[in-house]
Structure 1
């Protein structure tokens, strides 16, 4: 209740500010700027980054809207629903492409568009005969969610409704909702909570979970715009009505709501006999750096799915997704970079170089995490995170809950504006997931 009250006060203060002559930011102003700024949360349905490629059902709709209006699209990623409201009010975004619950407070402070859906929250639990069937079955149970998230708030209200007893536990902000659901499917935690649409998508990939216990009523949710943007609202509604006359919505629903490449890296089926057609390359090169060859294979799987011809939207190439500039430093050109043997050879040399940068980390398993992160996003961002870890008395030689914590905070202005941060803003979610999933895949390849 405290957080809800705080947000209510924030909204009222902003509303008062608008009445005192706040500059409008409606469609004519947006068209003049040539850019539509959209705020969202990162998840498998709304928006996510896959090896630099921006994806997601709502992201693609927003891109279609921006193209329709002849605008560039800028994505602002928030950490919570509360932060979305603040970002919209302070003018850092024009529209929320994360569908907001259309509560009385939301309707009072925003214009609700026609881009809407129905949703409720459900419990995620292991599929078993002993699963919880009623809300009261959750007494004395541990349910894991992000602190101060809408799921946390719903569980607090639920505790009030049933007289207490639900043990609310918190997970790291670096984990996505899907990561937490995956942890339930792997038996690492007993329960979590998610929106039913995310839960239904996850269920298609994590088949050993149960999502049948609703813990909230069904409510409409929708894209919203600022109250000073009625023309933008009209333009969105007109565009959306016309979109229904095409096949675009159906195509996006099949692509993102019936299945999603977001989950490609979660469940790894280890082939019998060999992992890939390039196992001998991985074996030969891994010896050079003293790594298990299956770790190189795991990197290749997550970087390219073992496709030697793939080129990402940010220009990474081949089996190991080398950047052309890095490859050129090791003698490759635009043709030879695609040759699997050359691509893996240079990637291994680059890994060896990164390994020397972290030689002072004596725990080899820890050092590998730093090397993997640097390989994925660049050495400089990891050094920025290490500087922050040192400043705030975290252990600069430990990844989890130490350097990884401050790496995630490189998207927070209070941290990336620090003078010790040399490369500035960085959204770390993809790299954090990359490190975690490469190591999980490696363990799968080992048969652990």
Structure 2
């Protein structure tokens, strides 16, 4: 597989066709005509016909795919390329038995130019059929595999628009070359001649939301998927109303009469719909985006600013030692205790990472209330859980399974896998197992399992929440905005870690205002010493008594 980033002109390839090219002598030409007809008929009957597009692709061994950078399409990660559209295209190439050659364009105009000139076999744009059709009426489309809803967005604290007329006289941002533009043009021509807007072709969704958040513009129009992915990063930007009917998304095919690749795509989508692959990809990329509402998203960003700096060194050090993403460990810590080191629950789990006494002993942690020890113990335990899972579970599902096991126990996760297997679904896919984990609460099911009853909904919500917290942290980190939130000292530590992959042990001294050395009885000690209790509550955010 290759990833290519270049202009459309460099992607043109020669096409070859099979045919006869022979001019008979002038003398006795009338005798040659019947003979040529016979030769042509024999050639056709013997298979000498022009190959269709699928046959050409298989002959070349390459499927050419054009896409664009975006959260729904294609982006780079530490583990390589990713994206919903990217993964679909790679699987389609595997379905055809060829290699994918991905061409990443600089923007929508270049993408449509590539399609229109036939320089690609398919285009995985993540854009609506309606938008593509308005730009080139001869474009062809594969099966619809998702829909999105165009939304009008506004900033909380300002007047919320309720209908299109409320946009009159306001500053409205709209992504260029979208079906929303066509809709606004129609509304302007027929009903609202004073309706105005600004088209932006170079801003990504995060940039647009940032402008609304800063009140540089009044409103923005964005599709529901892009808003859902970024909404937790901008909790003050909210949905005002739905602009128009939902729009269909599918692959775009260049103009032409050969439908063999279109038909192959239809068969491919039928197959991945039936075998669960499409559901798996939808869950992987979109299944957790609704986990944070406005209140939780705002609180999360506030807590990142006020608390994360204290424990960042510990997350970084544990991640380096255990080969885990520090942002995953930090997301776990937030889900467990909201980054409160002296948290405790009625069930007996304690500390920043809410370790049970049994787990703490297993990983050699003597004081669960010491935040450094808690993070280190959690990292060791999580890595061990990942290693104990079945080899057939691959990433990122392997991480989701390990997180579920951290929450509910690996035995219960295996019970849920067995139920999944009995139901006829793949037990090594998180999208399947998360459906059946809640059944561990029902007597009909848990009486037949090895490890018995469990609160099966908890690990499902636990994993989905952590995935969303991770998304926010990763976005803040990748965009550099985390440095504006955390303390100056923590920012310098993070920069050094990004450069070296290590944490200076000296920088960890005094990271938290208080370390306890009295073991797990420290919280009980706080209850008898009013001065110490006040100090502990200041450090832990008042989380000493309950979760």
Under a length normalisation based on structure 1, what TM-score does the superposition of the two structures give? 0.53
Describe the superposition over 1:171-205 as per-residue Cα deviations: whole angstroms up to 9, x where unpaired: 572x3123322442454543221122222333355
Distance in 1 separating the partners of 2:478 and 2:214:
14
Question: Counterpart of 1:224?
Answer: 252
Q: Who is 1:42 aligned against?
A: 69
Structure 2 residue corresponding to 1:67, chosen from 83, 94, 110: 94
Number of the residue aligned with 2:116: 89
- CA–CA separation in structure 2 for the residues paired with 1:54 and 1:305: 26
Q: Is the 8 A contact 1:201 1:258 kept in 2?
A: no
Whole-Å separation in 2 of the counterparts to 1:148 and 1:235: 28
* Residues 273 and 84 (structure 1), Cα distance of their counterparts in 2 relative to 1, 3 Å cut: closer
Per-residue Cα deviation, 1:134-179 (whole angstroms, up to 9, x for no partner): 1000011112245555555554444334434344335572x31233
Deviates more, 1:227-236 or 1:184-193: 184-193
Distance change >3 Å, CA 162–CA 241, structure 1 → 2: same
- Structure 2 residue aligned with 1:272: 307
CA contact (8 A) 1:185 1:206 kept: yes
The equivalent of 2:334 in structure 1 is none
RCO comparison, higher one (Cα < 8 Å, 6+): 1
Mapped to 1, the partners of 2:318 and 2:155 lie a distance apart of 29
| Contact kept? 1:126, 1:208, Cα under 8 Å | yes
CA apart distance, 1:85:
3.0
Among 140, 144, 150, the residue aligned to 2:173: 144
Cα deviation per residue 1:406-447 (whole Å; 9 max; x = unaligned)? xxxxxxxxxxxxxxxxxxxxxxxxxxx999821x22111148
Partner of 2:224: 196
Change (3 A) 1:190 1:118: same
Please, which runs of 5 or more residues in structure 1 have no aligned partner?
Answer: 1-22, 280-299, 313-432
Give the alignment of 1:15-26 within 5 angstroms: 26=53
- Counterpart position of 1:443: 484
What value does the CA root-mean-square deviation take over the aligned residues? 4.1
Describe the shift of the 1:151–1:273 C-alpha distance in structure 2 as closer, same or farther (beyond 3 A). closer
Structure 2 Cα separation of the partners of residues 93 and 311 of structure 1: 38
Distance in 1 between residues matched to 2:151 and 2:89, nearest whole Å: 27
CA distance, structure 1, for counterparts of residue 321 and residue 52 of structure 2 = 46
In 2, Cα distance between equivalents of 1:436 and 1:155: 34
Q: Secondary structure at the match of 1:85?
A: helix
List structure 1 runs of 4+ shifted beyond 6 angstroms: 433-436
3-state SS, counterpart of residue 220 of structure 1:
strand
1:42/1:229 CA distance change after superposition, 3 Å: farther
Q: 1:130 aligns with which of 123, 140, 159?
A: 159
User: Which residue in the other structure is 2:269 paired with?
Assistant: 240
Give the Cα separation in 2 of the matches to 1:53 and 1:270.
30
Q: Structure 2 vs 1, CA of residues 446 and 94 (structure 1 numbering), >3 Å: closer, same or farther? A: same
Per the TM alignment, residue 128 of structure 1 is displaced from its structure 2 partner at its CA by 4.3
Partner of 1:256: 285
What are the Cα deviations for residues 236-284 of structure 1, in whole angstroms up to 9, with x where unaligned? 1111111112222222111111236xx99x96823627354538xxxxx
Aligned 8 A contact 1:111 1:225 in 2:
yes
Match of 1:57 in 2: 84
Q: Name the SS of the counterpart of 1:213 in structure 2.
A: strand
Question: In 2, distance between residues paired with 1:197 and 1:83?
Answer: 23
Q: Alpha-carbon deviation of 1:70?
A: 2.1
Cα 1:191–1:308 shift into 2, 3 Å? farther
Distance 1:225 1:305 in 2: 48
Query: How many residue pairs align between the two structures?
Result: 281
2-structure distance, mates of 1:305, 1:234:
50
Task: Within 5 Å, give how 1:323-402 maps onto structure 2.
Answer: none
**Equivalences for 1:158-197 in 2 at 5 Å?**
158-169=187-198, 173=202, 175-185=203-213, 187-197=215-225
Structure 1 distance, partners of 2:318, 2:241, is: 36
Report the secondary structure of 1:256's partner residue: helix
For the residue of structure 2 that corresponds to 1:114, the secondary structure is coil
Structure whose alpha-carbon radius of gyration is higher? 2
Query: Matches of 2:51 and 2:174 in 1, distance apart?
Result: 37
Q: Tell me what 2:143 maps to.
A: 114
Q: Any idea what the Cα deviations from partners look like across 1:333-362, whole Å, max 9, x if unmatched?
A: xxxxxxxxxxxxxxxxxxxxxxxxxxxxxx
